[in-house]
Structure 1
Amino acid sequence: MIFYSIIKDQRVYFDKKSVFCYDSFVPKLSNIHPVLVRPQFSGNIGAATRAAKAMGLGPLFLIEPHPPLDGEARKFAAGAIKELKKIKSFSNLDSAIKDSVRIFGLSARRREHRSKPIWLEEAVEEALKASSKGTVLFLFGKERTGLENEELDFAQVLVRIKTSSRFKSMNLAQAVMVTAYEIKKQAGAKIEPYDYEPATGEDIECLIQALDNALERRDFFKPNKRNMALRRMRDLFGRAAPKKNEISLFRGMLRCLDEKHLFRKL
């Protein structure tokens, strides 16, 4: 017989040979947050809140503008009404992603100048690994149009839910529920956590801004191509999942390469 206990986020078991063994860590589901970007219906906020609570995830993040958390939200939250008070509201995505270590954006549509999306199952495995180091976000767009390209730029990885090829669109709250369930399901599997300190969303955005400023001053961008180039840069660094010290290295290289010392204030 094997007895299990939890010690410092690791699953520890004692086998019949009286030997302690350490298995993979226990993911911190409370570090994983669904982010509803400019949702239109309060009922979906309530239903998404209930889904996150039922699967053990952290509180919802809301990006303004969003409807008030009124009776409709409470109606769909049902037994999770108290969780509505824990929702965090942000004026923009910049402030929401600041401390996150991994950001996933869900979309059923093809996007130009972005890498091919991965399936939800693969994204969840990556999210659980990252949850050991900090906040992980799953971005969901508003009901009518989903995530706009400018909003999806903040996502390091594009994610797709497996649906019928004939009809790919899902209700917002349903998409949150499917995602939350997949996270809960995989949380019991053997997963190795990140063994390094990942760069945060703010770290990567600061580097992108530094590159943007440097290249703009040197007239690098072709007419009307700047946004496309920045999107590709974000996609590159997002897929790379860089370490925090690697971002610092890049910024140091920028300062060193600038002969006119234009980067001293970075």
Structure 2
Amino acid sequence: MGIDTFQDQIRIVLVETSHSGNIGAVARAMKNMGLGNLWLVNPNSFPDEASYARAAGASDVLDRANVVSSLDEALSGCTLVMGTSARGRKVPWPVIPPPEAAVAACQNAEKGNVALVFGRENHGLSNDELQRCHYHIHIPSNPDYSSLNLAMAVQVMCYELRMYHLRGLEAGAGSPYLKPMTAPGDPGWDIPPAPVNDVEGFFGHLEQVLTDVDFHRRDNPRQLMTRLRRLFQRARLDQMEINILRGILTAVQKAVGASGNRKPTDADAKATGQENGHV
């Protein structure tokens, strides 16, 4: 789905909002997630200072908001309508959670306007209003404290919409936003992964220092080095991190007056440079 379709074809509809500050907070939630088509049905007060203050940089969403006097006007031209609701209606209605609602909204937005309807702060949407909806959206909040602030409920749905939108971009032209960056070698990481021989040099250096400070006994090693290897291998060190660690070890050796009997390596030279502040 194109960005224009995502922004314009999906309407966020607020019904008879009591507090104008909540309208501003909703505008902020929408803009955070790339949405901008806001419809207000008979708000108690709008526009006003409180709504723009709570928008916090999303005043353009408020400037473009459509203020209407009835839900019929807000839904005019829509091909799919979904309303937020708690479960437990007398007549069961099709109910879907936010992720599935986002899929339905984005897919149907290719064909026409889609409305996501949110009710009043104190009692939500009426039964008559909910019966205007094809689906009810249920946000599975804590049953012991299930009441969501209006802007929070909108944020949940806007987030799900954006995630579906980004997944579509990733499958097409490509989107960097959903790709994790957790270790050296991932796109965006600033330093390449440490080569295996440098990591092995670090382990040898570490063992020597632990021996120098009488923390490790080579004649009774137990599982110390095995567990330390597991720790550092799990961290997936990059080259700079190896250099920093080698610099620390060299500084420890100098402080305790133990240089060890290892033959200097290229990694040692890097460690010395690290110690001297060449980051």
Normalising by the residue count of structure 1, what TM-score does the alignment of the two structures yield? 0.60
Query: Deviation per CA, 1:176-228, whole angstroms, max 9, x where unpaired?
Result: 1111011101112249xxxxxxxxxxxxxxxxxxxxxxxxxxxxxxxxxxxxx
Instruction: Give me the whole-angstrom Cα distance separating, in 2, the residues matched to 1:149 and 1:165.
Output: 21
2:130 aligned residue: 152
**Aligned counterpart, 2:51:** 73
Shift of 1:66: 2.7
Q: Please show how residues 1-266 of structure 1 align to structure 2 within 5 Å.
A: 28-190=6-168
Cα offset, 1:175, TM superposition: 0.5
How far off its partner does 1:61 sit? 0.4
| Structure 2 residue matching 1:168: 3-state secondary structure | coil
Please tell me the residue identity of whatever aligns with 1:94.
Answer: D
Q: Could you tell me how far 1:29 is from its partner in structure 2?
A: 3.5
Residues 133 and 58 of structure 1, relative CA distance in 2, 3 Å threshold: farther
Contact between 2:42 and 2:67, CA under 8 Å: does it hold in 1? yes
Mean CA deviation greater in 106-115 or 117-126? 106-115
More helix by proportion, 1 or 2? 2
Q: 1:125 to 1:63 in 2, by over 3 A?
A: same
Query: How many percent of aligned residue pairs carry the same amino acid?
Result: 36
Determine the C-alpha separation between the residues in 2 that align with 1:126 and 1:158. 12
Opposite residue 63 of structure 1, the aligned amino acid is V
Measured in 1, the distance between the counterparts of 2:24 and 2:51 equals 4
- Residues 40 and 26 of structure 1: CA distance in aligned 2, closer, same or farther (over 3 Å): closer
Taking the aligned partners of 1:33 and 1:84, their CA distance within structure 2 comes to 13
Give the 3 Å change call, closer, same or farther, for CA 26–73 of structure 1 in structure 2: closer
Q: In terms of Rg, which structure is larger?
A: 2
Q: CA deviation at 1:152?
A: 1.0
Letter in 1 for 2:113: T
Which residue identity does 1:99 align to in structure 2?
G
Instruction: Tell me: higher relative CO, structure 1 or 2? Use CA pairs within 8 A at least 6 residues apart.
Output: 1
Give the CA deviation at 1:59.
2.0
Measure the CA separation in 2 of the matches of 1:90 and 1:26: 23
The residue type equivalent to 1:58 in the other structure is G
In 2: Cα distance, 1:26 partner to 1:86 partner: 15
**How far 1:115 moved relative to its partner?**
2.0
User: Are residues 122 and 190 of structure 1, via their aligned partners in 2, closer, same or farther at CA, if it must alter by over 3 Å?
Assistant: same
**Per the alignment, do residues 100 and 30 of structure 1 end up closer, same or farther by CA in structure 2, a change over 3 Å counting?**
same
Counterpart of 1:172, as a letter, is L
Counterpart-to-counterpart distance in 2, 1:91 and 1:63: 5
Structure 1 runs not aligned, ≥5 long: 1-8, 11-24, 192-266
Going from structure 1 to structure 2, the CA distance change for 1:125 and 1:26 (only over 3 Å counts) comes to farther
Q: Following the alignment from structure 1 to structure 2, what is the Cα–Cα distance between the partners of residues 33 and 106?
A: 14
Structure 2 segments unaligned to the other structure (5+ residues) = 170-279
RMSD: 2.0
Output one character per residue of 1:226-249: Cα deviation in whole Å (capped at 9) or x when no partner: xxxxxxxxxxxxxxxxxxxxxxxx
- State the alpha-carbon separation in 1 of the partners of residues 60 and 93 from structure 2: 39
